[in-house]
């Protein structure tokens, strides 16, 4: 087999197994000029596009394309979330020991401090649910990435918070942190929108960490002439986590498309109960899952746009408020796939696949 | 009233009007009949063949093995011939209408309007 034929055969794997692959190979080889060694870019795009469409069966049908696109979008979201979650395991943990002490000393020099992580692992869940509980009922609404809060003992520093903010920004810059602008915080008068200037908030970043510092005089029992202050350490999303998420999105979308195609082709002929069950289950599953996927993508887009730490994972809604919908959606997807598996495959496709398998085994035999 | 055909569909049916053809035969015939205006990509051709087969406009004529390669021939069904006939009549009527309008313009050129 020529090199060109091998490359065409590889591209033709975009098509479902069967007679069509060998038929197309014949046509492509006939149409290729003798000087051609590789498929052209136009041919490649054309074969991938029509091959992926052919995977869905039902030629000329538009509904199946819409359904497959929405399922691919939803599966892409699940893939992106799973890959991002897995990649976060590779991100270095929060600094401890001298590294943490260096940060504490930079923010609160010559003050005793405490540094407390709010979670033992990657995430914080106020309900502290174990794996079994999470699988049954999801996470608490406060589910978010774990942080480390550094605070002076006993939380209050003497002096003016404005002056302290300016000198702290200077110390952080000197220590190699990139310091963002400080915003005024305090109670807001609703009628005028005016903010009562009682505090500051600013974020500094360095080595994949974000340090958010909030001095304020608003806290109850703040002694006169003092202010309350905390510094919260978060981790920024590393580039490889984003890349893993993108790869997970593409993989999930591809799996969603191929599964839809498989189910669609199996239920293509006749109006059988299996066909109706598969279609209705898939549509209801989408009603439950698609909004979560779209909201998740919106959150992801916002997080990628902002320079700060992610705060909450972009799939948070699916593990908190949307958990029940997700569970039911997963059950409905399983029902759709079981119904498709139970459907009788069109006789023509079965015979084509059998013939193609027999041909391959015959070609391989000595 | 039938929907106008897409150009590849029209040319594929036209290429099959006289005799059954296989994939590459259809591509060659379409290029020749359209005087090089339409060159079908293989993926586009087979997507259209699947659709036309599902719509009953064409059917499989026979399978052959040539130099160890699978080759399937397609032929126009009566339904396909009728659809092509309808489309050809529609295009001819359109062409006649355009011709009449252009003839009128030549005979009686009016003032230019915005």
Could you tell me which of A234, A262, A198, A279 has the C-alpha nearest to residue A93?
A234
A195 — contact with chain B (CB < 8 Å)? Answer: no
- The nearest alpha carbon in chain A to B26 belongs to A27
B65 — contact with chain A (CB < 8 Å)? Answer: no
The rounded distance, in Å, linking the Cα atoms of B82 and B104 is 33
What is the reported pLDDT for A351? Answer: 52
Secondary structure of A35-58 in the HEC alphabet? CCCCCCHHHHHHHHHHHHHHCCCC
Q: Looking at this predicted complex, what is its ipTM?
A: 0.86
Q: Is residue B113 part of a domain?
A: no
Q: CB A23 to CB B41 under 8 A?
A: no
Give the gyration radius of chain A's Cα atoms: 29
Q: Is residue B40 part of a domain?
A: yes
The C-alpha angle A154, A160, A162, rounded to 5 degrees, equals 115
Q: Is residue B17 part of a domain?
A: yes
The rounded distance, in Å, linking the Cα atoms of A55 and A67 is 13
| Domains with residue ranges and CATH for chain A | 63-86+240-350 (no CATH), 92-237 (3.40.1000)
The rounded distance, in Å, linking the Cα atoms of A258 and A9 is 19
Supply the CATH number for residue B74's domain.
1.10.10.10
Cβ atoms of A74 and A249 closer than 8 Å: no
As a whole number, mean pLDDT of residues B51-58 equals 94
The rounded distance, in Å, linking the Cα atoms of A302 and A60 is 38
Q: Is residue B66 part of a domain?
A: yes
The rounded distance, in Å, linking the Cα atoms of A347 and A354 is 11
The rounded distance, in Å, linking the Cα atoms of A1 and A5 is 6
What is the reported pLDDT for A38? Answer: 93
Q: Is residue B105 part of a domain?
A: no
Q: CB A24 to CB B46 under 8 A?
A: yes
B114: helix, strand or coil: coil
What is the reported pLDDT for A360? Answer: 52
Contacts of residue A64, Cβ cutoff 8 Å, sequence gap at least 6: A56, A57, A58, A260, A264
- The number of C-alpha atoms within 13 Å of B20 and in the hemisphere containing its C-beta is 13
Q: Provide the number of structural domains found in chain B.
A: 1
Cβ atoms of A350 and A170 closer than 8 Å: no
The rounded distance, in Å, linking the Cα atoms of A336 and A324 is 18
- The nearest alpha carbon in chain A to B22 belongs to A27
What is the reported pLDDT for B114? Answer: 55
Q: Is residue B111 part of a domain?
A: no
The residue of B26, B42, B71, B72 whose CB has the most chain A CBs within 10 angstroms, and thus the best one to mutate to test that interface, is: B42
Could you tell me which of B76, B39, B48, B50 has the C-alpha nearest to residue A19?
B50
Q: Domain range spanning residue B54?
A: 7-98
Give the confidence band of B113 by pLDDT, cuts at 50, 70, 90.
low
- Using CB atoms, which residue from B44, B55, B72 is nearest to A23? B72
Query: CA A106, A112, A118, A121 torsion: positive or negative?
Result: positive
Question: Which of the residues in chain A have pLDDT under 50?
Answer: 350, 358-359, 361-363, 365-366
């Amino acid at each position: 087999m020529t090199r060109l034929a091998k490359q065409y055969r590889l591209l033709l794997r975009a098509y479902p197994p069967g007679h069509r692959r060998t038929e197309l190979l014949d046509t492509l080889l006939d149409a290729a000029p003798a000087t051609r060694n590789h498929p052209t870019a136009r041919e490649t795009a054309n074969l991938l596009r029509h091959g992926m469409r052919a995977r869905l069966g039902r030629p000329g049908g538009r509904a199946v394309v819409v359904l497959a696109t929405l399922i691919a979008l939803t599966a892409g979201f699940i893939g992106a979330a799973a890959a991002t979650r897995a990649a976060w395991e590779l991100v270095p943990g929060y600094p401890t020991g001298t590294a943490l002490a260096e940060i504490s000393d930079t923010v609160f020099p010559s003050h005793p401090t405490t540094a407390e992580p709010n979670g033992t692992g990657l995430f914080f869940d106020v309900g502290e649910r174990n794996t079994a509980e999470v699988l049954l009922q999801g996470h608490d609404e406060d589910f978010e990435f774990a942080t480390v809060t550094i605070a002076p003992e006993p939380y209050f520093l003497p002096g003016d918070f404005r002056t302290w903010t300016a000198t702290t920004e200077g110390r952080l810059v000197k220590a190699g942190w990139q310091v963002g602008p400080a915003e005024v915080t305090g109670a807001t008068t609703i009628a005028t929108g005016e903010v009562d200037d009682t505090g500051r908030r600013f974020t500094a970043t360095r080595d994949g960490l974000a340090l958010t510092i909030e001095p304020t005089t608003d806290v109850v029992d703040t002694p006169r002439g003092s202010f309350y202050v905390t510094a919260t350490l978060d981790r920024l999303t590393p580039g490889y986590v984003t890349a893993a998420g993108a790869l997970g999105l593409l993989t999930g979308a591809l799996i969603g498309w191929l599964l839809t195609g498989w189910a669609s082709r199996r239920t293509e002929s006749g109006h059988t109960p299996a066909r109706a069950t598969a279609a209705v289950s898939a549509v209801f599953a989408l009603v439950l899952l698609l909004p979560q996927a779209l909201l998740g993508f919106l959150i992801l887009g916002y997080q990628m746009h902002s320079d700060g730490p992610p705060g909450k994972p972009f799939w948070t809604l699916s593990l908190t408020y949307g958990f029940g919908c997700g569970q039911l959606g997963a059950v409905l997807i399983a029902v759709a796939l079981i119904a498709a598996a139970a459907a009788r495959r069109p006789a023509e496709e079965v015979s084509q696949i059998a013939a193609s398998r027999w041909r391959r085994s015959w070609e391989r035999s000595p | 009233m039938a929907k106008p055909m897409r150009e590849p569909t029209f040319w594929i049916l036209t290429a099959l009007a006289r005799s059954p053809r296989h994939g590459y035969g259809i591509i060659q015939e379409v290029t020749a009949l359209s005087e090089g205006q339409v060159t079908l990509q293989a993926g586009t051709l087979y997507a259209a063949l699947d659709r036309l087969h599902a719509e009953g406009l064409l059917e499989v004529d026979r399978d052959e093995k040539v130099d160890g390669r699978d080759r399937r021939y397609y032929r126009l069904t009566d339904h396909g011939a009728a659809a092509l006939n309808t489309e050809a009549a529609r295009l001819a009527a359109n062409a006649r209408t355009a011709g009449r309008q252009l003839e009128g313009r030549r005979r009686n050129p009016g003032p230019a309007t915005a």
